[in-house]
Amino acid sequence: MKKIALIAIIVLTAGFSATAQKTKKMKKVLFVVTSNDKLGNTGEKTGFWSEEFAAPYYELLDKGVEITIASPLGGQPPIDPKSADPSSATEDTKRFDADKTLQEKLKNTHKLSTINQKDYDAVFYPGGHGPLWDLVEDKSSIALIESFYTHNKPVAFVCHAPAVLKNVKVKGDYLVKGKKVTGFTNTEEEAVGLTKVVPFLLEDALTQNGAKFSKGENWQPYAVEDGLLITGQNPASSKLVAGKLLEKLN
């Protein structure tokens, strides 16, 4: 009987330990999306790019990561209509379109000014042209990225999202100064015909701030990391960025 009791205690202890370990490993990542739906003065709509949101979202969610979504204005953020076109569909965007739970979550994004980095292990910014007009200048976003970075937490961006680093400084210097980064390139912006529409070219702005900007072929997956900073070049790079972020979290 004593032997049976001892075995039972060991099994129970192992179970509690496994549960505690699982709970301990649960990571929390903040997704920050744009609230801007205007493509400059063109009269066209923009927002966040669905693939750049969906691919990393599910890559992290399926690994047990808890995700919170925030935006400058809170509530429903705009989705770039071009990214919702069937011609741009991927398995992740199809899942995104059918995910009622996520759609409800998106309707109720947290207001960015209410967010505290202490509640999260990392932050991720999807792209789309929208961020160029709001998140780049948003004081809450700028302060939040600085806070994550200075508290030794990963900061990740894809496509146009690295543009939001334009005004972020750490100890008086631009965060990107001397750092390896990538993002939507000048040639890719030219290919979509928006070089004269966007307020600035991402590649030029980060280079001017001292970044070591590198790039792959247009539209091909390419991502780089430099310490806590992870950046991806274009929509095709979304999963690469998510993978690198997962490695940092684990």
Say how far residue 86 (Cα) sits from the centre of its chain. 23
Digit-coded pLDDT (tens) for 7-20: 444 444 445 444 44
pLDDT of residue 45: 98
Digit-coded pLDDT (tens) for 184-242: 999 999 999 999 999 999 999 999 999 999 999 999 999 999 999 999 999 999 999 99
The residue assigned the tokens 């209509």 is 81
Of the candidates 51, 243, 23, which has an alpha carbon nearest to the alpha carbon of residue 154? 243
pLDDT of residue 15: 52
21 pLDDT above the threshold of 70: no
Q: How far is the C-alpha of 165 from the C-alpha of 205, rounded, in Å?
A: 9
Crossing angle between the packed helical segments 50-61 and 238-249, to the nearest 10 degrees = 30
Q: Are 131 and 137 contacting, i.e. CB atoms less than 8 angstroms apart?
A: no
Residues sharing a CB contact under 8 Å with residue 43, sequence separation 6 or more, in sequence order = none
pLDDT of residue 88: 85
CA distances from residue 242 to 7, 41, 102, 119, 196 in whole angstroms, order as listed:
42, 33, 18, 20, 31
Largest CA distance in the chain: 81
More confidently predicted of 14 and 244: 244
Digit-coded pLDDT (tens) for 135-189: 999 999 999 999 999 999 999 999 999 999 999 999 999 999 999 999 999 999 9
Query: What is the token pair recorded at 177?
Result: 């100064």
pTM over 0.85, yes/no: yes
pLDDT of residue 24: 57
Digit-coded pLDDT (tens) for 57-115: 999 999 999 999 999 999 999 999 999 989 889 999 999 999 999 999 999 999 999 99
pLDDT of residue 4: 53
